[in-house]
């Protein structure tokens, strides 16, 4: 891989009533360039990750990045979308432009504004990332889709209530120290495990603490080639970047295997020339706690059916065998769809350069990222390592 991250920026995630989609994009675009120590004139191409699907009335958004500075005028700008993996799709497009030598510096921005949309419409918008002929009428929206996945997993492998609560509690605890996180509160295992008025069942066996948040937010990274990166302030290289797309209908695959996730991880580890044991931490796509549990198995951290055991043993906690979601994950940090994948890359780069503040994993050398669109349909894995 030749691409490197040389700068980044991240907005707070949450209900940002004083922001617009445009203001979020402009702020992170400006700050990412400042962090990289370059200006708009140095940028050759712009990629915006923006899912939308009805969240924003403004549906043609690539040129909103140009609002950050008039010097962006006439530079190529493209919006990309791949459901909840939209941000990583934007990152990959930027990498490919650099590898093709079509650009030397690429600005990648991911953004979403979700909280201005009424609740019922939020569910409808998110269901557009499912296969509508089969799942379009699912009660509780996308939570209902993963509620069915969780129920099927319970049927095959046994009750996972304790394991899911442990995953939720871990991510909420990690999120306390993330200055960008939407929910910075350590709820503890018992609260996450117990049904209550504040933690009711949402869909199937999934409670509120098992579900990621509806969020506004944005993140940006600056990409360049390795030679250029080594002359800049910092350089975090992609040792691997893989994209695996699977069938959209869940009926065409065993949904409990997350085979696209498994294949993406296998390719990335092989191409990076490493194993899971070489990773210092992973940021993975915990849109729902059951997703994180299955991802443990798909990445090879646990045998099939034993993802819950890994969680209960604390292997994915800070200080464990492989810390997973030291940022708090989507569960605590928030999940503004288009921003999520870019956020994962920005915070992983921050970890590897020792700039992650309170969420810093001590001695972090190599970081892994898994970002997923739909129910394991769009699967992206990146492996990053600092080279300067």
| 135 neighbors 250 (Cβ within 8 angstroms) | yes
Does residue 14 sit in helix, strand or coil? strand
State which residues form the domain around 21. Answer: 3-117+215-229
**String of b and e for 30-66 (b: at least 16 CB within 10 Å)?**
ebbbebbebebebbebbbbbbbbbebbeeeebbebbb
Looking up residue 34, the CATH number of its domain turns out to be 3.40.47.10
> Does 87 fall in a domain?
yes
Does residue 155 sit in helix, strand or coil? helix
Work out how many domains the chain is built from and give that number. 1
Does residue 376 sit in helix, strand or coil? coil
Query: How do 45-49 and 201-203 pair as beta strands?
Result: unpaired
> Does 25 fall in a domain?
yes
Does residue 385 sit in helix, strand or coil? strand
How confident is the prediction along the chain (388 residues), in pLDDT tens digits per residue?
Answer: 789 999 999 999 999 999 999 999 999 999 999 999 999 999 999 999 999 999 999 999 999 999 999 999 999 999 999 999 999 999 999 999 999 999 999 999 999 999 999 989 999 999 999 999 999 999 988 999 999 999 999 999 999 999 999 999 999 999 999 999 999 999 999 999 999 999 999 999 999 999 999 999 999 999 999 999 999 999 999 999 999 999 999 999 999 999 999 999 999 999 999 999 999 999 999 999 999 999 999 999 999 999 999 999 999 999 999 999 999 999 999 999 999 999 999 999 999 999 999 999 999 999 999 999 999 999 999 999 999 9
Q: What is the pLDDT of residues 178-197, one digit of tens each?
A: 999 999 999 999 999 999 99
> Does 163 fall in a domain?
no
Whole-angstrom distance, CA of residue 9 vs CA of residue 121: 30
> Does 349 fall in a domain?
no
Whole-angstrom distance, CA of residue 201 vs CA of residue 207: 4
> Does 59 fall in a domain?
yes
């Amino acid at each position: 891989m030749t691409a490197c991250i040389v700068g980044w920026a991240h907005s707070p995630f949450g209900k940002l009533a004083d922001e617009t989609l445009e203001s979020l994009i402009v702020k992170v675009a400006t700050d990412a360039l400042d962090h990289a120590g370059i200006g708009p004139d140095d940028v050759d191409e712009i990629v915006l990750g923006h899912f939308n699907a009805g969240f924003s009335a403004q549906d043609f958004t690539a040129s909103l990045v140009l609002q950050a500075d008039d010097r962006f005028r006439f530079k190529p700008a493209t919006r990309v979308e791949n459901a909840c993996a939209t941000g990583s799709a934007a990152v990959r497009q930027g990498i490919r432009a650099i590898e093709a030598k079509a650009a030397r510096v690429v600005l990648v921005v991911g953004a979403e504004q979700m909280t201005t949309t009424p609740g019922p419409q939020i569910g409808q918008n998110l269901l557009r990332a499912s296969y509508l002929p089969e799942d379009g009428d699912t009660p509780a929206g996308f939570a209902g889709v993963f509620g069915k996945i969780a129920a099927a997993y319970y049927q095959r492998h046994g009750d996972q209530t304790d394991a899911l609560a442990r995953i939720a509690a871990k991510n909420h605890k990690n999120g306390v120290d993330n200055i960008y996180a939407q929910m910075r509160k350590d709820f503890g295992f018992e609260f996450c495990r117990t049904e209550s008025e504040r933690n009711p069942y949402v869909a199937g066996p999934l409670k509120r603490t098992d579900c990621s948040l509806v969020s506004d937010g944005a993140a940006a990274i600056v990409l360049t080639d390795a030679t250029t990166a080594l002359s800049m302030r910092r350089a975090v290289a992609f040792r691997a970047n893989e994209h695996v797309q699977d069938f959209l209908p869940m009926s065409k695959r065993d949904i409990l295997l997350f085979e696209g996730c498994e294949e993406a991880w296998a390719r990335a580890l092989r191409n990076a020339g490493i194993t899971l044991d070489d990773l210092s931490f992973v940021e993975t796509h915990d849109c729902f706690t059951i997703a994180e549990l299955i991802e443990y198995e798909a990445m090879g951290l646990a045998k099939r059916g034993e993802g819950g055991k890994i969680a209960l043993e604390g292997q994915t906690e800070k200080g464990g065998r492989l810390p997973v979601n030291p940022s708090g994950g989507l569960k605590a940090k928030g999940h503004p769809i288009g921003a999520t994948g870019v956020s994962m890359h920005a915070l992983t780069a921050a970890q590897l350069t020792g700039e992650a503040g309170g969420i810093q994993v001590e001695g972090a050398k190599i970081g892994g990222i898994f970002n997923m669109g739909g129910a394991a349909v769009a699967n992206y894995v990146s492996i990053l390592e600092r080279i300067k």
